[in-house]
Amino acid sequence: MTTDNNAPHATSGLGDDDGTAPEFTVYGGDWSDVAEEAARLGGQRLVFNMGPQHPSTHGVLRIMLEVEGENVTELRAGIGYLHTGIEKNMEFRTWTQGVTFCTRMDYVASMFNEAVYCMGVEKLLGITDDIPDRANVLRVLMMELTRIGSHLVAIGTGGNEMGATTVMTTAFVGREETFKVIEHITGLRTNNAYIRPGGVASDMPDDSVEMIRGMIPKVKERLDELAYLQLENPIFKGRLQGVAVLDLASCMALGVTGPILRSAGVPYDLRKSEPYAGYETYDFQVPTSTEADAYSRVVLRLEECYESLKIVAQCVDRLEASEGEPVMVADKKIAWPAQLSVGDDGQGNSFEHIRHIMGESMEALIHHFKLVTEGFPVPAGQAYAAVENPKGMLGCHVVSDGGTKPWRAHFRDPGFNNLQALSMLTEGGQVADVVVAIATIDMVLGGVDR
Amino acid sequence: MSDAKDMATTGADVSAVLPEGRTLINVRKGQFVSDADTSGYEGLTRFVYSPEAAKRPYGSWFDQVVDVLQELLGDKADAAIQSVVVDRDELTLHIAREHLVEVCQHLRDDQDLRFEFCLGVSGVHYPADAGRELHAVYPIQSITHNRRLRVEVSVSDADPVIPSVTAVYPANNWHERETWDFFGINFTGHPGLARIEMPDDWVGHPQRKDYPLGGIPIEYKGAEIPSPDQRRQYR
């Protein structure tokens, strides 16, 4: 590896490389060949890349590692490979269309992106208290189903990366059950654009209540299976216990939230500390641990899934009781005019709405056209909204210039913040523990890079 | 919540007024693609300002926090806290950049404040706000007292320098790199202010308002697709 000091990088290369160190290029293959060759040349210290396209990096994450033997002496994470300019794009679309963009950030927990953005927009509009109860219940239902899905992905892919494929398949089977419900209600498995400023895109179909009630035991079964499969497994414990430890002081210094902070003993959960969407009315616990290691975080994620199922069950009862109530704010200057329905030719605007605007009222057609193409103006100012995403605190800073498009929308993805802790989680440990540390942070690079 | 009409003035030849403590968010000129206002009305220019500074009592816990901060800053309080805005139940402190690190230190360490977490920094570009074009917005969270406030620092486009708060809030390391990358705000004292999302050799700061969406044509399977700002819909 050579270092060009005139390169436009702000930092020089890793280590004290004088340009004479031997360089090996490896694409897969047998690692021991490289190690032998390095040993023959007498080098102890190796600098190499893990990623950007490595199966254990949860997307495209580049990790620059400096190792001595099997020990990691320095680690740096390089991100940006999945930067898609979502925040910039949102400035060129209406407030409602923004949902379609931001849902694609952390694509494993997309409902949270939509929810936090909509809460920010509603704060700007001053309609936070006007959101119908049923819309809030549907939001909570969607967020908790997504939380289960996201945690299952974290546990499943984490197991897969350590070589336990069964953990992955079991987790994905469980996640599929949540997707069936999400798809039934929103029409899409992920990237739903379901939560909209003012409420949700559509009410749930009539048979959803039974479907959700049927789903709960199926997911619970998979969670039980994952717990039985992993938690007492000696290999699993050997790989995870005491690994990737981040104590409370480091968590606070690095602004780490979510399961990592809770594994260090702080029961910090925005659903409890700053309840939104009616979370204060649900009965659930915030599990914590004091072990602060990767193992305790797997346990916490499993426990949180059980708690989420409890919330889902409460949501179903409320949805049953509130059938027929509105799911969109009453203010017609903001509310999306159409409700979606499923017809013979697939999902689209409901037949009644089409008949009304095309056959009965020209004013309704104009209203629909203006609201859908131009959007609604949002009073000037700025607002900050935050929700508890499966990975931690997801924040959204929205600024309006009084127009129909965001002046600025910025997201504080917990993965972006927490990934900074990777060096502290891994340095001094072994190379194999790097994979565990990445899995325990559970960032999604779509959210990190945006 | 402030009234949008109150914050806007209209008129054809009005030049922007910059009232103390308010941000000129934008000058809206209708949706004409060219500069010419073909309506014949010539009255579409609107100056959109951020909500005005709050007067005491601010309400809620805001008074207490500002009092404590003023006491800790002592003589420097007036210079450091440029204005206090309460809008939509959120407290915003406009802080002079020279005093930012000290303010953050007090916010973090004083037992009555205890804002342990800085939730990053979000840049905002207001090209119309002459002399204060670039704003850095720091949402700061207290777990102890369960409060959140916003610290806002504004600098000019010509001198986009803000001291880094990474010594107080190490979590802001990557956030500041991101804001440097996207807005070109130079955080002095940062341990390694490199680009983070864009490639290292990228020219320009993409989330500034004068940077077009896309900005570069994209070659895909042999065909060259013009950048989005060259397509009519986005202009």
**B77 and B44, same domain (yes or no):** no
SS3 assignment, position A397: strand
> How is residue B31 annotated by DSSP?
B
A10–B contact, CB cutoff 8 A? yes
- List CB contacts (< 8 A) between A424 and chain B: none
Is residue B227 a part of any domain in this protein? no
Chains A, B: CB pairs < 8 Å: 147
pLDDT for the residue A1: 37
- CA distance, residue B175 to nearest chain A CA (Å): 8
pLDDT for residue A11 is more than 60: no
| Segment B172-203, tens digit of pLDDT | 999 999 999 999 999 999 988 989 998 888 88
Last residue of a domain, one of B150, B173, B188: B188
B5–A contact, CB cutoff 8 A? no
**B164 and B75, same domain (yes or no):** yes
- List CB contacts (< 8 A) between B48 and chain A: 380, 401-402
Lowest mean pLDDT among A71-75, A118-122, B28-32: B28-32
pLDDT for the residue A398: 95
Task: Return the residue matching tokens 């890079």.
Answer: A449
| Alpha carbon separation from B83 to A144, A253, A358 (Å, rounded) | 40, 28, 52
pLDDT for the residue A8: 39
Of A87, A253, A380, the CB nearest to B49: A380
Q: Provide the β-strand partners of residue A27.
A: none
**B92 and B43, same domain (yes or no):** no
Share of chain B above pLDDT 70, in %: 83
**B81 and B181, same domain (yes or no):** yes
Q: Average pLDDT in the B139-165 region?
A: 92
- Report the chain A residue with the minimal C-alpha distance to residue B210: A88
How far is the C-alpha of A266 from the C-alpha of A35, rounded, in Å?
A: 43
| Alpha carbon separation from A37 to A28, A48, A50, A69 (Å, rounded) | 16, 15, 19, 13
Confidence class for position B235, pLDDT limits 50, 70, 90: very low
Is the CB of B171 less than 8 angstroms away from the CB of A253?
Answer: yes
B51–A contact, CB cutoff 8 A? yes
Is residue A435 a part of any domain in this protein? yes
- List CB contacts (< 8 A) between B4 and chain A: 377, 379-380, 402
* H or E segment to which residue B72 belongs: helix B62-73
**B1 and B85, same domain (yes or no):** no
Q: What is the CATH classification number for the domain harbouring B126?
A: 3.30.460.80
Lowest mean pLDDT among A33-47, A186-200, A238-252, A434-448: A33-47
| Segment A223-235, tens digit of pLDDT | 999 999 888 889 8
Is residue A67 a part of any domain in this protein? no
pLDDT for the residue A342: 74
Is the CB of A377 less than 8 angstroms away from the CB of B197?
Answer: no
Is the CB of B194 less than 8 angstroms away from the CB of A89?
Answer: no
- List CB contacts (< 8 A) between B25 and chain A: 380, 399-402, 407
Q: Average pLDDT in the B92-111 region?
A: 92
> Which structure tokens are listed for B49?
């300002």
Is residue B6 a part of any domain in this protein? yes
Confidence class for position A309, pLDDT limits 50, 70, 90: very high
Domain count within chain A? 1
A267–B contact, CB cutoff 8 A? no
| Segment B220-229, tens digit of pLDDT | 788 888 777 6
pLDDT for the residue A141: 94
pLDDT for residue A10 is more than 60: no
pLDDT for the residue A187: 84
Confidence class for position A4, pLDDT limits 50, 70, 90: very low
Of B49, B192, B197, the CB nearest to A11: B192
> Which structure tokens are listed for A157?
């892919």
How far is the C-alpha of B139 from the C-alpha of B117, rounded, in Å?
A: 9
Lowest mean pLDDT among A36-40, A107-111, A232-236: A36-40
The residue among A399, A416, A420, A448 with the most chain B CBs within 10 A of its CB, best to mutate, is A399
**B104 and B149, same domain (yes or no):** yes
| Segment A53-65, tens digit of pLDDT | 666 566 788 888 8
| Segment A407-448, tens digit of pLDDT | 999 999 999 999 999 988 888 888 888 888 888 888 888 889
pLDDT for residue A352 is more than 70: yes
Is residue B223 a part of any domain in this protein? no
Q: Which of B219, B191, B195, B193 is nearest to B207 (CA)?
A: B195
pLDDT for the residue B5: 39
Confidence class for position A26, pLDDT limits 50, 70, 90: low
Q: Average pLDDT in the B206-219 region?
A: 82
pTM for this prediction: 0.87
- List CB contacts (< 8 A) between A129 and chain B: none
Q: Considering only residues 186 to 225 of chain B, which have any Cβ-Cβ distance to chain A shorter than 8 Å?
A: 192-201, 206-207, 213
Lowest mean pLDDT among A91-105, B118-132, B175-189, B220-234: B220-234
How far is the C-alpha of A199 from the C-alpha of A134, rounded, in Å?
A: 9
Is residue B132 a part of any domain in this protein? yes
Strands B24-28 and A406-412: unpaired
B87–A contact, CB cutoff 8 A? yes
A351: number of Cβ within 10 Å: 10
pLDDT for the residue A13: 44
| Segment A258-292, tens digit of pLDDT | 999 999 999 999 999 999 999 999 999 999 998 88
The residue among B3, B88, B118, B126 with the most chain A CBs within 10 A of its CB, best to mutate, is B88
**B74 and B184, same domain (yes or no):** yes
A1: number of Cβ within 10 Å: 14
Give A67's contacts (C-beta < 8 A, 6+ positions apart): A45, A46, A47, A48, A73, A431
Q: Give me the domain span that covers residue B14.
A: 1-51
A232-241 own/partner pairs: CB under 8 Å, 24+ apart: A236/A159, A236/A162, A236/A164, A236/A295, A237/A295, A239/A162, A239/A432, A239/A436, A240/A293, A240/A294, A240/A295, A240/A298, A240/A436, A241/A291, A241/A293, A241/A294, A241/A295
- CA distance, residue B85 to nearest chain A CA (Å): 11
B117–A contact, CB cutoff 8 A? yes
One DSSP character per residue, B152-192 reads EEEE-SSS-EEE--TTT-TTHHHHHHHHHHHH--EEET-S-
Measured in residues, chain B has a length of 235
Is the CB of B197 less than 8 angstroms away from the CB of A79?
Answer: yes
Confidence class for position B21, pLDDT limits 50, 70, 90: confident
- List CB contacts (< 8 A) between A401 and chain B: 25-26, 28, 48
- CA distance, residue B71 to nearest chain A CA (Å): 25
Is the CB of A412 less than 8 angstroms away from the CB of B119?
Answer: yes
- List CB contacts (< 8 A) between A94 and chain B: none
Q: What is the CATH classification number for the domain harbouring A433?
A: 1.10.645.10
pLDDT for the residue A393: 93
pLDDT for residue A349 is more than 50: yes
pLDDT for the residue B221: 82
pLDDT for residue A348 is more than 50: yes
Peptide bond into B57 cis (omega under 30): yes
**B87 and B25, same domain (yes or no):** no
- CA distance, residue A89 to nearest chain B CA (Å): 7
| Alpha carbon separation from B17 to A194, B55, B83, B139 (Å, rounded) | 42, 21, 18, 28
pLDDT for the residue B223: 84
Is residue A407 a part of any domain in this protein? no
Q: Provide the β-strand partners of residue A195.
A: A200
B142–A contact, CB cutoff 8 A? no
pLDDT for residue A160 is more than 50: yes
More confident residue, A54 or A104: A104
Is residue B39 a part of any domain in this protein? yes
Lowest mean pLDDT among A187-191, A217-221, A325-329, B16-20: B16-20
* H or E segment to which residue A159 belongs: helix A133-161
Q: Considering only residues 48 to 87 of chain A, which have any Cβ-Cβ distance to chain B shorter than 8 Å?
A: 79-80, 83, 85, 87
A181-185 own/partner pairs: CB under 8 Å, 24+ apart: A181/A145, A181/A208, A181/A211, A181/A212, A181/A215, A182/A142, A182/A145, A182/A146, A182/A149, A184/A208, A184/A211, A185/A138, A185/A142
**B37 and B74, same domain (yes or no):** no
Beta strands in A28-61 (DSSP E): 45-50
pLDDT for the residue A42: 65
Give A301's contacts (C-beta < 8 A, 6+ positions apart): A151, A154, A155, A259, A390, A442
| Segment A176-215, tens digit of pLDDT | 999 999 998 988 888 888 999 999 988 888 889 999 999 9
Is residue B193 a part of any domain in this protein? no
- List CB contacts (< 8 A) between B170 and chain A: 253-255
- Report the chain A residue with the minimal C-alpha distance to residue B30: A403
Q: Average pLDDT in the A364-386 region?
A: 90
- List CB contacts (< 8 A) between B193 and chain A: 10
**B71 and B179, same domain (yes or no):** yes
Task: Return the residue matching tokens 């099997």.
Answer: A70
pLDDT for residue A120 is more than 80: yes
Give B34's contacts (C-beta < 8 A, 6+ positions apart): none
Q: Which of A121, A116, A132 is nearest to A331 (CA)?
A: A132
A105–B contact, CB cutoff 8 A? no
Domain count within chain B? 2
SS3 assignment, position B80: helix
pLDDT for the residue B74: 87
Is residue B220 a part of any domain in this protein? no
How far is the C-alpha of A183 from the C-alpha of A192, rounded, in Å?
A: 9
Strands B147-155 and B90-95: parallel
Q: Give me the domain span that covers residue A303.
A: 86-93+126-331+415-449
**B72 and B164, same domain (yes or no):** yes
pLDDT for the residue B31: 63
**B74 and B43, same domain (yes or no):** no
Is residue B28 a part of any domain in this protein? yes
Q: Which of A104, A90, A103 is nearest to A59 (CA)?
A: A104
Of A92, A402, A416, the CB nearest to B8: A402
pLDDT for the residue A57: 64
A280–B contact, CB cutoff 8 A? no
How many Cα atoms occupy the beta-carbon half-sphere of A132 within 13 Å?
23
Share of chain A above pLDDT 90, in %: 46
Question: What mean pLDDT, rounded, does chain B reach?
Answer: 83
B145–A contact, CB cutoff 8 A? no
